[in-house]
Structure formats: C-alpha cells, structure tokens
C-alpha cells in the first residue's frame, strides 16, 4: 500500500479540480480546444491554485500554533486543578478530624 503525503494529496486534488474545470471550459468552447491551449489552461490553473492556497497555509500554521498554545495552557490549568483538589481533600480531612474531636467533647 502506498502512503501519500499531504503534498501528494494536494497535488491529486488540484489535478482533479483542474481536469474537471478544464473539460467544462473546453466543452463550452470546442472551437479553441487544442493541446497548446489546454497546457496553458493547466499552467494558469496551477498558478491560481497555489496563489489561493498560500494564505490558507499561513492561516493553518497559525491555527496549529494556537492549538499548541491552548494545549499547554490546559495542561497547566489541569495541573493546578489537581493540586487544588489535593489541598481541598487535605483540608476536608482536617475539618473532619476537628469535627470528630469537637463531637467527643
């Protein structure tokens, strides 16, 4: 089984969209349908695809960075809550002991 990278998947997706769009474009214009114009169409489509994709990749990188920051923040908060839970448990145990002593009086 072949493992595909993200760039392989992106390339395959771009080519599929290009093929579909190219066929529709030239089906509507059969009088200009030729190899050279199809190559020009494919080249322009690929450049447009990359240009449209670039800002999305930057946004995706930002989202991953934010996710990592939130994960670290949640870990810190979780550790703090765990510590507070332990302190509350200890305080409740001391209160119970003091109540037991008070009840014996």
Between CA 63 and CA 18 the distance in angstroms is 28
Does the pLDDT value for residue 72 go beyond 80?
Answer: yes
DSSP 55: H
Domain ranges of the chain: 6-104
Q: State the Cα angle at 60 between 54 and 22, rounded to 5°.
A: 45
Rounded to an integer, what distance in angstroms lies between the CA atom of residue 44 and that of residue 52?
12
Q: What is the pTM of this model?
A: 0.54
* pLDDT of amino acid 7: 83
70 and 62 in contact (C-beta within 8 Å)?
A: no
Q: Each residue of 34-43: pLDDT tens digit?
A: 999 999 999 9
């Amino acid at each position: 089984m072949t493992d595909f990278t993200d760039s392989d998947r992106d390339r395959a997706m771009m080519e599929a969209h290009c093929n579909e769009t190219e066929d529709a474009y030239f089906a509507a214009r059969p009088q200009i349908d030729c190899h050279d114009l199809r190559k020009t169409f494919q080249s322009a489509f690929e450049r447009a695809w990359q240009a449209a994709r670039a800002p999305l990749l930057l946004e995706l990188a930002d989202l991953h960075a934010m996710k990592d920051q939130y994960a670290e923040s949640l870990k810190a908060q979780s550790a703090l809550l765990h510590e507070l839970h332990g302190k509350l448990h200890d305080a409740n145990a001391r209160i119970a002991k003091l109540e037991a002593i008070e009840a014996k009086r």
